[in-house]
A and B are shown apart, each in its own frame.
Chain A
Amino acid sequence: MTGSLPRKLRELFLPLGQIILFVVASAAVMSAIVLALAFLLRGSRADSDLLVGVFALLPQTLIDGITLGFLYALIALGYTMVYGVLEFINFAHSEIYMVGAFAGAELALTLQSLGLLLVIPPLGYVVLAVLVGMIVSGALAVTVERIAYRPLRNAPRLVPLISAVGVSFFLQDAVRLFESFHRNAFYLTFPVIPAFDRRIIFGAIPTATGGMIDVGISVKVIIFIVAAILILIGLNYLVNATKLGMSIRAVAQDRPTAGLMGINVNRVIALTFLIGGSLGGAAGVLAGIKAGTIDPFFGFIPGIKAFTAAVLGGIGNLTGAVLGGITLGLLEAFVASYLTLFTRGALPGADYAAITAFLILIGILIFKPSGLLGEQVGHAGRRA
């Protein structure tokens, strides 16, 4: 896509602006809804002021929601790209994400054992870990495609899906086996970097019980969000402004015709897996650094939720995956913090947040199977 420089810049940054606008708008809408709800129910509590309670939780909820949203967005892109090209749910993508986290953790632990961890600059460490995670996960995704999916490309629809479920289970135990041999424990803990655990405090707001609570954001979260945005810009450039992106979109639109036009379809599919897998790997490393401890099964639930996000935005649609991810992340964070508050602990929000995602999935698939933005890849309409 050879455009003039301003056009290229617009291609690059317009979607970014849209995403940020969307984040702000959806966060504002959800906050308004809970505040309105609290305002209406204000009289029902004698012991504490619901409105103050809601307000005290709001900043942390928003931060959690946006972080979760970007995590789901990064994973969902892997699902949606593969789906766009092959119309196939890559069930093992959650394990590709998990393997990325393990690659990052192995790197961090190796650096630590070499005594280099605190020597190199923290940001350099993050970049290195993310790169390693991307490479390992991307390579794994390509390998999995070659071994478990390509032979089944013409089989009935369910056959590669079952194979993908098998790959997912296999990888979980393969990582567990590897780590059991390697470190005699299958839980890995990222080494603590003091610089990352700092919290930047903006101020304090009153809580319902009369105390004050700090409003702040930890450095880890900032790194997570910034890295996610940078990766999204890079992906946008790759898909919309390079020849490779054009061939991916061509294969997604019409595989046989793309083949006739001289595009090496197998190579493009492998590259799609590479890109999707490395996005998942990057998400895994970032999530691992944020969470601290990882285990071979920690990819499964985020994977399913990210798939939900992809469906929510319109599977096959890259912008849709990001918007769906952010919507789902915010919704979950709001359910997790406010369901407990509104029901006085009768319904623990953290547990029901998981159900929320599935209910959204079922609802979307029933009422609007094409998702919020419709099914398409990149800017190109896929179906007539």
Chain B
Amino acid sequence: MSQSKPTAVSRSITAQTLGWLGEAPQAYIFLTLYIALTALGAFLNQRSLPIFLLFEASLLLIFYARIPAKPKAIFCGIVLLVLLPVLGLRNAYYLEVATQVGIYVALALGLNIVVGFAGLLDLGYVAFYAVGAYVWAIFGSSHANEFSAPGNLVVAAIGLLAAAPGATLAYRGIRRVAGEDRLPRPWGALLPWAVTIVAAVVLYRLAWLILGPGLGSVGRFPLPAGWFFPFLLIAVGAAVLSGILLGTPVLRLRGDYLAIVTLGFGEVIRVLSKNLDKPINITNGSQGITPISRPPLLPEALMAPLRSFFSAIAGRPLLNADLYGFYFFLLALAIAGVAILVARRLDHSYIGRAWTAIREDEQAAIAMGVPLVRMKLMAFAAGASFAGAMGMIFAAKQTFVNPDSFTFMESIGVLAMVILGGMGSIPGAVLGATIVTVLNLQVLTELSLQLSALRQSGGLMPLLGIPWTQFPNQLEPAKYQRMVFGIVLIAMMIFRTEGLLPAVRRRLEIQEALHGDADAAGQPVKEA
């Protein structure tokens, strides 16, 4: 877990800090002090962005600290599960930002599998996110009532078809993470069976709900909120299915062609979601679908004490609606955590090695017996599954989806996160997602606010002497996300192709390609 060798750039920037973080007792004291001070600062001064950013940076310091994994996890847990929610209950926007970070972390990790691990550039990644979002949007709202009986059958058939890969994935995933060898004797063998039976019962129940006694009658939808979690499986399955559908025909293509085709696929999904309000109204066109039901909170008996507890923290009475912010934060955090776990395990499995082989030399990989098509499809499917799950959370969080949420810019935004952190690097993807999201949601927004405040104050610009009121009001930093993404992509490609927190192997590959010298990669590289 600990970063063994900080690279030259980060060393020069953070030499002093890393020195403090270098040894165990010192590092504990420093981290505790830092976290306590920034958290206290953010708690006392809730509108100050710099202090909150410093607080957020504590996670990075924890990552860099050279301490064993367990204390690291404890520090992370305190920051993410105790301090951040407390701050977030006081200032709901912080929690919103943290939730968005969680969502984008999972998306970046998913894209990282496709782009970083397998080396397939996917410019239409947001399509899978859209698939996941629309799956829940349609059935989690009253929209599905619009289907006539035959339409319903078709939709249900597609849904159940989508559930199959989802169930398979869950089954295999659970087997892999908590397989036979990891659990005590009888349970290890029983677990897969239990999963299969539970999945079968859930699917049967769902099919009954959609197709059962009230077939064609009005008012059966939205599905009861409790179906949110089983539906996660279906959303994942639908995304995986669309990943495979896209992947099958295009996998023979060269890398750059693949990029353009995935871009086209992303646009096709967006245009379809905009136009499939006729002949059958599936997506309700550009108006989008609302309201979408949210997952259930706990039963009221448990909820009441929790609410009063959180109200005490927040310093004001909280309604269930306020608590949903916290709830979705936990949900996004949980899925992001699962995503990190899955990505790490995939990376270190034979699948991950096969992806590396394909990425480095496709011909050699084929010659060594790597099943090319299966592995590429698996990369697409795995990447898509993260996006599908997060899409569903997004739909439930916003209670509204429309095609505008799934533009090409979103795909590039996620790509920028992966590139910034470093292709193929899991900590990199997390860092990239956090930096870009915080930049977009907090820094740029803050700049916009400051600018409009200046505009209203009527003062003069420093140096120029022009009144701020003449400053063009078109110029809202918050609207210049494209420029941010563009600069990130160009600058990273030119100056630091391997990313901020590079994966070691990837760095060697890129240096080898750029300088044509495999052995010199570890040593200082001479510029040509």
- Which residues of A come within 8 Å of B, CB atoms? 88-89, 148, 151-152, 154-163, 165-174, 176-177, 180-181, 184-186, 300, 304, 307-308, 311, 343, 346-348, 351-352, 354-355, 357-359, 361-362, 365-366, 369
Interface string of B248-292 (1 = CB under 8 A from A): 011011111101110111011001101100110000000000000
Tell me the bound Cα distance from A361 to B263 in angstroms: 11
Contact A89 B256 (CB under 8 A): yes
B493: contacting residue among A166, A359, A361, A365, CB under 8 A: A166
- Is residue B119 within 8 Å, beta carbon to beta carbon, of the partner chain? yes
Chain A residues within an 8 Å CB radius of B252: 366
Determine how close the nearest CB of chain A comes to the CB of B521; give it in whole angstroms. 14
B267–A170 CB distance below 8 A: no
Partner of B257, one of A163, A174, A180, A369: A369
19 A–B pairs (Cβ distance < 8 Å), ordered by A: A148-B490, A152-B493, A154-B514, A154-B516, A155-B493, A155-B513, A166-B487, A169-B486, A170-B482, A173-B486, A180-B474, A304-B267, A351-B271, A351-B275, A352-B271, A354-B271, A355-B271, A365-B250, A369-B257
Instruction: Give the distance in Å from the alpha carbon of A156 to the alpha carbon of B268 in the complex.
Output: 28
Give residues 431-481 of B contacting A (CB, 8 Å): 472-475, 480
Residues of chain A with a CB closer than 8 A to B409's CB: 169
B residues engaging A (CB < 8 A)? 119, 121, 123, 249-250, 252-257, 259-261, 263-265, 267-268, 271-272, 274-275, 278-279, 408-409, 412, 415-416, 419, 472-475, 480, 482-483, 485-490, 493-494, 497, 509-510, 513-514, 516
Nearest residue in A to B280 (C-beta to C-beta)?
A346
Complex CA distance for A89 and B274, rounded to whole angstroms: 28
Contact B261–A169 (Cβ < 8 Å): no
For the complex, give the distance between the alpha carbons of A358 and B510 in Å.
32
Question: Chain A residue with minimal CB distance to B491?
Answer: A166
A residues in contact with B278, CB < 8 Å: 346-347
Are A184 and B487 in contact, CB atoms less than 8 angstroms apart? no
Structural contact, A362 and B264, CB atoms closer than 8 A: yes
Contact of A172 with B261 at beta-carbon distance under 8 Å, contacts A155-B497, A156-B510, A365-B250 already known: no
Contact of B486 with A168 in the complex, beta carbons under 8 Å: yes
A154 touching B472, Cβ below 8 Å:
no
Complex contact A186–B257 (CB within 8 A): no
- The closest CB in chain A to the CB of B119 belongs to A158
Given A166-B486, A365-B257, 5 more contacts at CB 8 Å? Answer: A148-B494, A162-B493, A166-B416, A169-B409, A369-B253
**The one of B249, B274, B493 that contacts A163, using a Cβ cutoff of 8 Å:** B493
Question: How far is B412's CA from A56's CA once the two chains are assembled, in angstroms?
Answer: 43
Chain B residues lying within 8 Å of A166, measured Cβ to Cβ, are 416, 485-490, 493
- Cα A283 to Cα B261 with chains together (Å): 24
B497 surroundings in chain A (CB, below 8 A): 155, 159
Distance between Cα atoms of A347 and B475 in the complex (Å): 39
Q: How far is the CB of B198 from chain A (nearest CB, A)?
A: 38
Q: Indicate if the CB atoms of B255 and A157 lie closer than 8 Å.
A: yes
Question: Which of B119, B249, B490 is most buried by chain A, counting CB atoms within 10 A of its CB?
Answer: B490
Please determine whether A170 and B260 come into contact, CB atoms closer than 8 angstroms: no
Q: When the two chains form their complex, are residues B489 and A165 in contact, meaning their CB atoms are under 8 A apart?
A: yes
Choose one: B274, B408, B475, B486; the contact of A171 (CB below 8 Å).
Answer: B486
Q: Which of B255, B260, B408 contacts A361 (CB 8 A)?
A: B260
* Nearest residue, chain B, Cβ from A359: B268
Q: By CB atoms of chain B within 10 A, which of A172, A346, A357, A365 has the most?
A: A365
Q: Is the CB of A163 within 8 A of B474?
A: no
Distance of B324 from chain A, by nearest CB (Å): 33
Taking a contact as CB atoms under 8 Å apart, the answer to whether B272 and A355 are in contact is yes
CA distance A311 to B261 in the complex (A): 11
Residues of chain B within 8 A of A358, CB atoms compared: 264-265, 267-268
CA distance A159 to B419 in the complex (A): 10
Nearest B residue to A172 via CB reads B482
Chain A residues contacting B474 (CB-CB under 8 Å) are: 176, 180, 184-186
Using Cβ atoms and an 8 Å threshold, which residues of chain B touch A165? 123, 412, 415, 489
Distance, CA A352 to CA B274, complexed state (A):
10
CA distance A119 to B472 in the complex (A): 32
Q: List chain B residues, Cβ under 8 A from A185.
A: 474
> How far does the alpha carbon of A343 sit from the alpha carbon of B278 in the complex, in Å?
11
A366 close to B490 (CB less than 8 A): no
Q: Given A158-B121, A177-B475, do A151 and B494 touch, yes or no (CB 8 Å)?
A: yes
Does B489 contact A163, Cβ atoms closer than 8 Å? Answer: yes
Question: Are A180 and B486 in contact, with the CB atoms below 8 A?
Answer: no
Q: Do the beta carbons of A173 and B482 come within 8 Å of each other?
A: yes
Q: CB distance B256 to A169 under 8 Å?
A: no
Q: Are A365 and B261 in contact (CB under 8 A)?
A: yes
Report chain B residues within 8 Å CB of A88: 256
When the two chains form the complex, which single residue of A173, A181, A300, A362 contacts B483, counting CB atoms closer than 8 Å? Answer: A173
Question: Complex Cα distance A174/B486, Å?
Answer: 10
- Cα distance, A311 to B260, chains bound together (Å): 11
What separation, in Å, do the CA atoms of A166 and B494 have in the docked complex?
11
Q: Are B261 and A167 in contact (CB under 8 A)?
A: no
Docked pose: A308 CA to B260 CA in angstroms: 9
Closest residue on chain A to residue B251 by CB atoms: A366
Verify B480–A177 contact, CB threshold 8 A.
Answer: yes
CB pair A304–B264 under 8 Å, yes or no, is: yes
| Chain B residues closer than 8 Å to A346, beta-carbon distance | 278-279
Query: A348 touching B264 by the CB < 8 A rule?
Result: no
Q: How far is it, in angstroms, between the C-alpha of A366 and the C-alpha of B419 when the chains are bound?
A: 28
Tell me which of A152, A156, A176, A347 contacts B494 (CB under 8 A). Answer: A152
Residues from chain B with Cβ under 8 Å of A180 in the complex? 472, 474-475
- What is the bound-complex CA distance between A170 and B484, given in angstroms? 8
List chain A residues, Cβ under 8 A from B265: 358, 362
What 6 pairs between A and B have smallest CB-CB spacing? A166-B489, A170-B486, A169-B486, A358-B264, A173-B483, A180-B474
Tell which of B123, B272, B472, B485 touches A181, judged by Cβ atoms closer than 8 Å. B472
In the complex, chain B residues whose CB is within 8 Å of the CB of A168: 486
Question: What's the Cα separation between A307 and B412 when bound, in Å?
Answer: 19
Is B255 in contact with A158, judged by CB distance below 8 angstroms? yes
Q: When chains A and B are docked, how far (Å) is the Cα of A365 from the Cα of B412?
A: 23
Contact B419 A348 (CB under 8 A): no
Q: How far is the CA of A346 from the CA of B416 in the complex (A)?
A: 38
A161-B256 in contact (CB<8A): yes
- A163-B493, A365-B253 as given contacts; A169 in contact with B482, CB under 8 Å: yes
A156-B513, A162-B419 known; A304 vs B475 contact (CB < 8 Å): no
- A140 vs B475: C-alpha distance in the bound complex, in angstroms? 23
Q: List the B side residues contacting A343 at CB < 8 Å.
A: 279
Closest residue of chain A to B264, judged by CB? A358
- Which of the listed residues B249, B494, B516 has the most CB atoms from chain A within 10 Å of its own CB? B494
Please, how many angstroms separate the alpha-carbon atoms of A341 and B51 in the complex? Answer: 61
Contacts of A354 in B (CB 8 A): 267, 271
Question: Please, which residue of chain A has its CB at the minimum distance from the CB of B278?
Answer: A346
Minimum C-beta distance from A177 to chain B (A): 7
Q: Which B-chain residue is minimally distant from A363 (CB atoms)?
A: B249
The distance in angstroms between the C-alpha atoms of A88 and B408, with both chains bound, is: 21
From known contacts A151-B494, A152-B494, A348-B275, infer whether A169 and B412 are also in contact, taking CB-CB under 8 Å.
Answer: yes
A162 touches B250 (CB 8 A): no
- Collect the chain B residues with CB atoms within 8 Å of residue A311's CB: 257
Contact B271 A362 (CB under 8 A): no
A343 CA / B487 CA spacing, docked (Å): 45
Chain B: minimal CB distance from A355 (Å):
5
Q: What CA separation (Å) do A352 and B272 show in the bound complex?
A: 8
Contact of B475 among A181, A300, A307 (CB under 8 A): A181
Chain B residues whose CB sits within 8 angstroms of the CB of A160 once the complex forms: 493
Please report the C-alpha to C-alpha distance between residue A153 and residue B489 in the assembled complex, in whole angstroms: 16
Within the complex, what minimum Cβ distance (angstroms) separates B484 from chain A?
8
A366→B482 contact, CB < 8 A: no
Q: From the candidates A159, A304, A347, A369, name the one contacting B279 in the complex (CB within 8 A).
A: A347
Chain B residues lying within 8 Å of A157, measured Cβ to Cβ, are 254-256
- Nearest chain B CB to A54 CB, angstrom units: 21
Complex Cα distance, B514 from A151, in Å, reads: 10
In the complex with contacts A168-B486, A173-B482, A304-B263, A362-B250 CB distance below 8 A: yes
